[in-house]
Amino acid sequence: MTEGPHQPWRLPHFLRPRPPQAIKPVEITPAPVELPSLQTPDEQRLHAALTRRPLLSLAEIAQKENVSVRQLPKAMKKHIQSIKEYMKTPSFTAAGREIDPHIDFIFQSWQATRNLSRFHPLYSFAQTLDSFDTFFEAYFTENSTQHYGRLISLIDAFVREKFHPDKKIYVQKGHPERSYPSGLYNISGDWVRTDLDYDHMYVDRSIIEEAIAIGSLPQEPTFFHQSGSAILSSVGSIGEIVSGKKANALGLRLQTGESVTDASEGKIRQLNSVYASNYLQYSGYERVRWFDEGHITFGISRQKLEDYYEQKTGVRPTMMKKEYYIHDEDLQGHFIDAGKNGTLLGPEVPLTTVNAIYTERIYLDRIKEWAKQHAPQAQVISIEAGTLLAMLAYQNEHPDQYPKPITLEWLSKQPAVSIK
């Protein structure tokens, strides 16, 4: 999917740059988290697992690059050239260690230029960083399909693994130091251990409070379609989530999902149906393209979607198992169970059939505003609170595996490790 001209948004408070200071020698390495004491196992565990990647000012970025602030645009071009060379390698992977310094430079330049005056000498440079579209247009003039897909994959991996926008942390049992070896930008919070997974899973106390306020997950959503917030403008304008093939017919550029995965291999594939899963999960095929984009999951009512297609076609859809020799276009009038590949819902899913929308908690207010206008019937929930409630519900549904299930009340009484 695609959207209109990107409108820059105000940075979350933890990303707003500090006031200018005199330049001092800096060591740009992840900094261990400082805790007031290391007496409890949780404090020791988080101290070993978490290092904070520092946000830099323009002066600090320039110092790290050994250039003046005015030369940062030239430094950007050198990093872009290195990225393009890396994209050509047979061993290309979105999470390669060798690419991290280059994507990190882009991120640091982005966050340090969000509030520049239009009179600042780097204001034009800052505008190239306003969105993925402005960035790609400025630095990838070849407009290659492979460059497009691979750049999105690189930024998505960085956002997931380094920026870390979600208020949930996993710490490996026995080896906490292996959890986030490269450090994270967003680690502030009051972290409560949940004991809900094989590894130690911590959530911010605000997630527990949200889950208590919600009580339980909405009952109606049957299908869950994952995407990135880049699609919200176009989805809002046409009033429906559409397949890649229909998006192309409408003149919309594909921005997230499996089509982007294919693009990273230089392929162009347009799916005939909107794909969904049958349960709420944190992430899947969707991709975020830029540092201020979030993950979006639409909870879709099967009954409402059946009603829609019955009214449109005169035939009420039924669930059908997809065999390998049957093409999507031969299965009109059905929802298709494609096994591990998900469920095919047809070429469009109207927003009127969406009963819940999930996103990272830091983007919750922004998505609530969008939903008020385009899907007022949908309950907007953080993906962290949603997955927490889903895990608690799973325990209650499997008493043989969890004879003493964890409750929200119990979690609310557990101590938190506070990291500022």
Show pLDDT as tens, one digit a residue, over the chain (420 residues): 443 334 444 444 444 444 434 334 344 566 666 655 557 889 888 989 999 999 999 999 999 999 999 999 999 999 999 999 999 888 888 877 899 999 999 999 999 999 999 999 999 999 999 999 999 999 999 878 888 888 998 999 999 999 988 899 999 888 888 889 889 999 999 999 998 877 789 999 999 999 999 998 887 778 999 998 999 999 999 999 998 888 888 887 666 655 555 545 555 567 778 888 888 887 777 788 999 999 999 999 999 999 998 898 888 887 766 554 445 554 555 666 666 567 888 889 999 999 999 999 999 999 999 999 999 999 999 999 999 999 999 888 888 888 888 899 999 999 999 998
- Judge contact between 153 and 94, C-beta under 8 A: yes
* Cβ burial, residue 360 (10 Å; 0-12/13-18/19+): buried
- Judge contact between 239 and 350, C-beta under 8 A: yes
Q: pTM, whole model, 2 decimals?
A: 0.84
Q: 231, 264, 262: which is closest to 247 by C-alpha?
A: 231
Helix, strand or coil, per DSSP, at residue 255: coil
Count of all residues that appear for the chain in the document: 420
pLDDT for 26 equals 41
| β pairing state of 240-242 and 275-276 | unpaired
Q: CB neighbours of 63 closer than 8 A, spacing ≥ 6?
A: 23, 25, 26
Q: How far is CA 305 from the centre of its chain?
A: 26
Q: 407, 400, 359, 411: which is closest to 383 by C-alpha?
A: 359
| β pairing state of 318-321 and 334-337 | parallel
| β pairing state of 318-321 and 417-419 | unpaired
Q: Which helix (H) or strand (E) holds 382?
A: strand 379-382
* CB atoms closer than 10 angstroms to residue 68: 12
pLDDT for 316 equals 83
211 to 220, 362, 411: CA distances (angstroms): 18, 15, 11
Q: How far apart are CA 388 and CA 6, in angstroms?
A: 32
363 to 5, 155, 178, 272: CA distances (angstroms): 20, 18, 28, 30
DSSP letter at 114 equals T
Q: How far apart are CA 156 and CA 162, in angstroms?
A: 10
pLDDT for 279 equals 85
Q: How far apart are CA 67 and CA 77, in angstroms?
A: 13
pLDDT for 313 equals 83
pLDDT for 317 equals 81
- Judge contact between 345 and 223, C-beta under 8 A: yes
Each residue of 231-262: b (16+ CB within 10 Å) or e? bbbbbbebebbbbbbbbeeeebebbbbbbbbb
